[in-house]
A and B are shown apart, each in its own frame.
Chain A
Amino acid sequence: MIITPIELQKQKNDFTIVDIRSDQQRNEFPLKGIDTVIATEKGIHKISGKKVLVCQFGIVTEGIILENDMENTFSLLGGAQAWIEFQSDKEDLSQWSRQTVLPEIGIEGQKKLLNATVAIIGMGGLGCPAAQSLMSAGVGKLKLIDGDMVELSNLHRQPLYGVDDVNRLKVEVAKERLEQLNKNAVIESIDEYFNKENGLSIVRDSDIVIDATDNIQTRQLIDRFSKEANVPMVYGGLFRYEGQVAVLNVNGSPGYSDLFPDPPSNGETCEDAGVLGMLPGIIGNIQALEAVKLIVGMKHNLNGKLLIYDGLTHNTQIFQL
């Protein structure tokens, strides 16, 4: 069983709080605002009554409780890291404890995600998984842009929509589903197609723009406004079993016009060429991963590179632009 920092704050007098961390961790990251007893893993069973176990990230204690089938014992979600953050900022980040444990993310990275705004242009095959993953990762604000209604033929690759949503606006349905993933996030639904009139204002007050459209003309327009507003663009595109991802326009790095400078040729859309639903799932998630890396500031990313993934062979190749 787990308990979150907010719950523990309310119920702290009902539990014995057992800190099982090493001396070094306790000295470096002291727990404030709660009285604790110190125990080693082997000594926990000597402490009777309802108790909360605290380790550094909340992972070791969950394991101990499961392995020993312990009753009346809770693991503090996110561990000392989440409690300390909750005490200093009154923000409970324990929902993201499994990613804040990653040194590249940590509490600082999570706060950057919570303060970030990402615009997703197109809520189809790429936009649905990208939006889901970004919302789950804790991105504070999503702008969803699409004028389409849900069609029955969308459902196999657009997992935010169900049979009962057919003929409803995609951005409205998506907002309803995504709100379940993070109650504190803001979701702005814009039931319009991205165009010359609305484009700049959509891109300008975003930190990242995800290109999840299904046509090259709109990609070129996103590229233009992404350059103008100096907002990075995470491009994704599909052809049958093949997907492309690139991170573009990061402080003057190559853009879509460098990737494909020619006027649009008559390439086939997913509707025309056919697609298995898993492929946009994979590519949309790679786009979301790149967006998270950009927001957090990780040095390994696809800036200035084109990734091509083949769903038949699972070959992945990266080209330098």
Chain B
Amino acid sequence: MIKINIKCFSQVKYALDTDELRLELKNGTTSVELEKMIREKSKGKLDGISMRIAVNQKYIPNDIKLHDGDEVAFIPPVQGG
């Protein structure tokens, strides 16, 4: 198992009602699989909302395998100004 810290921003924060989560995941879990779990947890509140993923404060262009202790941030675009 691997322990992952999750940072939630803007709509993700409100959809999950928290700005931080700690999850224990199966070895070999990928960033896209984690995004799927987050969307399921939100019970539809993130439907239609795109988001970028950063691992350890760096944007990742593709799906990557997560490692124990990684910090994964979910960042949706924001509209307001």
CB neighbours (8 Å) of A109 from chain B are: none
Given the known interface contacts A259-B52, A266-B48, A308-B75, the answer about A317 and B81 at a Cβ–Cβ threshold of 8 Å is no
Q: Which of A4-29 contact B (CB under 8 A)?
A: none
Given the known interface contacts A242-B9, A266-B48, the answer about A317 and B79 at a Cβ–Cβ threshold of 8 Å is no
Is B19's CB under 8 angstroms from A321's CB? no
Is B10's CB under 8 angstroms from A242's CB? yes
Given the known interface contacts A239-B10, A319-B73, A320-B59, the answer about A267 and B79 at a Cβ–Cβ threshold of 8 Å is yes
Is A238's CB under 8 angstroms from B80's CB? yes
Is B80's CB under 8 angstroms from A320's CB? no
Is B58's CB under 8 angstroms from A273's CB? no
Q: Quick one: which of B19, B52, B80 contacts A260, CB cutoff 8 A?
A: B52
Q: Quick one: which of B48, B59, B73, B76 contacts A317, CB cutoff 8 A?
A: B73
Q: For residue A119, give the distance in angstroms from its CB to the closest CB of chain B.
A: 15
Q: For residue A279, give the distance in angstroms from its CB to the closest CB of chain B.
A: 9
Stretch of A89-97, A121-129, A177-185 lying at the B interface:
A121-129
CB neighbours (8 Å) of B75 from chain A are: 306, 308, 319
Is A264's CB under 8 angstroms from B77's CB? yes
Given the known interface contacts A259-B52, A265-B49, the answer about A321 and B80 at a Cβ–Cβ threshold of 8 Å is no
Given A267-B79, A308-B75; 17 other pairs, CB 8 A cutoff: A125-B80, A237-B79, A239-B10, A239-B76, A239-B80, A240-B10, A242-B10, A263-B50, A264-B77, A265-B49, A265-B76, A266-B49, A267-B10, A273-B80, A275-B80, A306-B59, A319-B73
